[in-house]
Amino acid sequence: MRNIRLTVEYEGTGFSGYQFQPEDPTVQGELERALVELTGAPHRVQASGRTDAGVHALAQVVNFHTESDLPLKAFLHGVNAFLPEAIRVKSVAEMPLDFDSRRSAVRKTYLYRIYADHAPPVLMRAFTWWIYNNLDIEEMRRGASHLVGIHDFAGFRSAGCDSLTTIREITAVRVSREGNLISIEVTGSGFLRNMVRIIVGTLVEIGQGRRKAESVSELLKDCDRGKAGITAPPQGLLLKEVFYGDEPLEVYP
């Protein structure tokens, strides 16, 4: 038995999220279908985390156990040959048998992109959230600073979140701007459902002057979802990187 890790990039526009759904196209469904085509056997593909419909990934990490003796090169080029153009395997590694892409993750970085201008973008409409208002980046940074640390993020999760605990650690939140493009990077040990999108929605309201930067501390204390900002739309969100402590046995390329 072998444990194979894939690093996968995908555009989430045409998919109903990562997790398999029998009636709808999903990233997991396409990966598992491609593995059947390549190896002739079914495989269950575990991901570092589920992304929602419309959310993208630069480096989603998945793993699966297999009895196949194909070389790592074949898993990269072979799986890609059977995937739609919106999904690509970027690298392959053979891992220790106890490696788990979700449980072994040490931290993750999500990137959210906002396009701030008087008119919505055309070429970036599937990858950004258009905001007409001019945003105060410095105030957004002040609000973001309150998120760093170990907190109860119950007020920053969607109603459908089934996590047993809402305590999470955020190690960094970076807000930057280049021209019309505003980027918000959030790094943490783990995330609740829609947590990053609610953080972004809250920071945008701060940038618009609709709430104070200091209100973030109050939201963390109140644990009331109704008092936080809106849930930002999915197309601006991208899973940028997943970090692990486990060393691979072999990597390609």
**Side chain identity at 209, as an amino acid letter?**
G
Query: Which are the catalytic amino acids?
Result: 52
Structure tokens at 8: 């996968």
